[in-house]
Each structure stands twice: as C-alpha cells, then as structure tokens.
A and B are shown apart, each in its own frame.
Chain A
C-alpha cells in the first residue's frame, strides 16, 4: 500500500508540501530571526525518525539580522552535501523553552528509497515492529 508516494521524507515543518523555494526559506528564516531565535544548518544521511542529532554545518548563527547570511550557509552546505538531507532549525534560548522552535528540510537526496517495516517474531505469537531506512544498509557517505 502506497501511503507516501515518492517515498518523500516527512519530518519537520512543511514536509508534506513541495520543497520550499529559496524565497520561501528566506521568509521562514526572517520569521525566526524576528523572534530572536538562533538559526543553524544541519545535515545527515541517516534519516531515521529517531535520529534527532544531525551533524551541525558550522556553528549556530546568533545575533543575525538578515537571512542572507544563513542562506549563504545553506547554499554552502548544499554544495558540500548535495545528496544529503539538510534541515534548518531555529533554537529558542528563552528560559522555559530552550529548545528548537522550528525545523524544516531545505535539501533532500535525488532518490529517497524510504523505509521498510521490519517484523521481529518474539515470545508466543508476539510481533515487534520497527522501521528501517533502506539507505542505511550502505556505508556512510555512500547512501544516496
């Protein structure tokens, strides 16, 4: 049954929509900057939903006023990792929040093989289920 045609990864904001254009990304970054959040760029080639810690591309960018600098970093990251997942997160350091408030994909691999459902038989007739990314069968940097 195809519930996710094209196997597009759906993580973070806007992931059910078509990919954001640069102009749309700028508007989203602008929103985060106006709220005083620190924006950072992260990438990974292991898109398992429980893989929360992606690699940081440079330091989080504090005290920026204009999205142009962040878009520059995004483009640098796209150039370095054209076939990785790249996401932009906006971190809110306000006491009580101290957490990412926004997170959305800005780059995805050309071909996304998606996830398979793995069934493990255990005691009795019990079945344990887990998802498995087909891409992670290969070594790092060869996955996409």
Chain B
C-alpha cells in the first residue's frame, strides 16, 4: 500500500466507519457499478464484501491491529459475454479507490503472452508481463490454456510456477484475476491445487435473463446516442427470446453484435429514403423494421454471410 502508515489511536478512542466510508468515495464506485452493470448479483455482492473488508482493515490499522494483507486474487468463471473482462476492468479502479493497488491499470494477457516458444523463453516472458502489471491488475483470459496435461514438457507449467510465486510474495504489488469457462477452469484447478488455494475469491458469472439483456441493450444504445422506438424495443425483446435458443449465444456480446447490425440497417433505411429531411430523432431511433429484418426472424438462422 502506497500511503504512509497512519498514526495509531489509543484503544479507548472510537473511530468513525461512516466518515471513513465517505472520504473513500467507495459509494460512488459502487453506485456506478450498479448503474452500469445490469444483473450480476453474486459479483456485486462479492465486490461489496471486499470493499467492506478493505475499509475495516484500514480502520483496524488505526488501532495498530495489523493483519496480513488480504489476498485478492480472483477467479472469474462464466459463459462467454457475461462481463468477466468488463468487471476486471472495473476491479482495477475499485481496488485503486480502496487503496489496495497503486495504479489500478489492467493488463490483459492470454497464454501467448506468458508462455515462450523454446527452453528459457518462458520465465523472462512471464516476468516481463508481471512487471508490467505491477501496481495494477493482471487479467489472464482463458487461463486454463496455461496447463496442457497432454504434453508433459509444455512450458505452461513453468509460467504457472512463476505466477504462483509472485501471487504469494508480491501480494501488495499486483492482483491476479484468472478467467475462463467454468468446467475448464475446474479441470485446471484440479491439476493445479496450488493455484486454487492461492485464489481467495472464486466468482461465478451467471447467464443474463432476457429482461436483463434488454436493459443491457438499452444501456449500450444510450452510450452511443441511439434509442429504440417503442415498437423497436418490443421487436428486440422478441429477437432476444429467439436468439437465446439458438447456438453460439454469447450473452451481452451477442446483444452488442445484434445492435451493430441494427444500426447498419437503420443507416441503410435512412439512406434509402434520401431526399426527405431528417431530424435528430430520426437519426437516433432504431425502429422495429431495423430489428425485424434480421435473419433470426425470417429463417430462424444466425445473421451471417453465407460464406
């Protein structure tokens, strides 16, 4: 922790948790989290708990009640598009506000960035990544690829060992977040029990419900200065129920792609009736026909080029 050790207060004195809470601006971060992330109740609960722990820890320090720095290494499991990366990005900011990390930046890596191609290549590569992530959050996407049981000479193991060492010794310097699909991560932890025990927080990201996906869609559109018309919204809700039953449904990511395609169609529609004057509303609104033109409705197939 970067700030100097606060002066200790005598044991009889009282400290104000409320005041500490207010000065830390945590409420602001939590509110922002609530506003911008739809659903994800288990995730938000855990973040609240972590925030409370760090806050109480700070108060305990004022009484010179030292305890070990809590480990905040995390593992995010969940299906594609459930917001693992988004939350990881927020995590950096939250932990910085709480004074747990110094910089709060996020370094996103996959197996390629950590594991080398020949003997002696892996250790420097992994160490370089770790050095870049210090003071912030190291986010290892699809972490289960680090361990390849079918090849006992795979360099991934070396990388895991260096990570384990750093996660233990440099707890103050960086927070490691592993992410991946649930079943594969479980298998990964089974073969690396050391990794499992060094990660205190295993957070499972649930799939979104249809109404949550619609709320996400509206939030995404608002961020880009678009909006649905009333019919457009109804059509999109219908689209979601159909799309969710289909294969390769990737939660919020599919929603984003669907919206991108709807914007394309909207532009095309406006272009088609050129000559007539357009107002701001026309340019902002996605109508039902922009959504209904999707192949999901017409043929029950995904919107894809035939190739």
Contact = CB atoms under 8 A, between A and B. Distances in A.
Which of A63, A64, A70, A73 is packed against the most chain B CB atoms within 10 Å?
A64
A60 B217 CA distance: 45
B105 interface: yes
Nearest to B172: A68
Contacts of A66: 102-103, 134-136, 173
Contacts of B70: none
A68 B135 contact: yes
B131 interface: yes
Contacts of B135: 65-68
A63 B132 contact: yes
B130 A69 contact: yes
B268 interface: no
A64 to B, nearest CB: 6
B134 A68 contact: yes
A72 interface: yes
Contact of A69 (B105, B124, B131, B172): B131
A90 to B, nearest CB: 15
Contacts of A72: 131, 134, 170
Given A70-B131, A73-B131, A65 B103 contact: yes
Interface string A31-74: 00000000000000000000000000011010111111110110
Contacts, number: 39
A9 B105 CA distance: 38
Contacts of A61: 128, 131
Contacts of B132: 63-65, 69
B124 A64 contact: no
Contact of A58 (B103, B124, B173): B124
Interface in B94-134: 102-103, 105, 124, 128, 130-132, 134
Contacts of B102: 66, 68
Contacts of A58: 124
Nearest to B101: A66
A61 B102 CA distance: 19
A133 B102 CA distance: 43
B170 A68 contact: yes
A64 B132 CA distance: 5
A67 B132 CA distance: 10
A58 B172 CA distance: 24
Contacts of A69: 130-132, 134, 173
Which of A65, A66, A67, A72 is packed against the most chain B CB atoms within 10 Å?
A66
A116 to B, nearest CB: 40
Contacts of A63: 132
Contact of B173 (A59, A68, A73): A68
Contacts of B134: 64-66, 68-69, 72
A58 B135 CA distance: 21
Interface string A96-134: 000000000000000000000000000000000000000
A142 B238 CA distance: 79
A70 B131 CA distance: 7
A73 B124 CA distance: 12
Given A59-B128, A65-B134, A65-B135, 12 more contacts: A58-B124, A59-B124, A61-B128, A63-B132, A65-B132, A66-B134, A66-B173, A68-B102, A68-B170, A68-B173, A69-B173, A70-B131
Interface of A: 58-59, 61, 63-70, 72-73
27 contacts: A58-B124, A59-B124, A59-B128, A61-B128, A61-B131, A63-B132, A64-B132, A64-B134, A65-B103, A65-B132, A65-B134, A65-B136, A66-B134, A66-B135, A66-B136, A66-B173, A67-B135, A68-B134, A68-B135, A68-B172, A68-B173, A69-B173, A70-B131, A72-B131, A72-B134, A72-B170, A73-B131
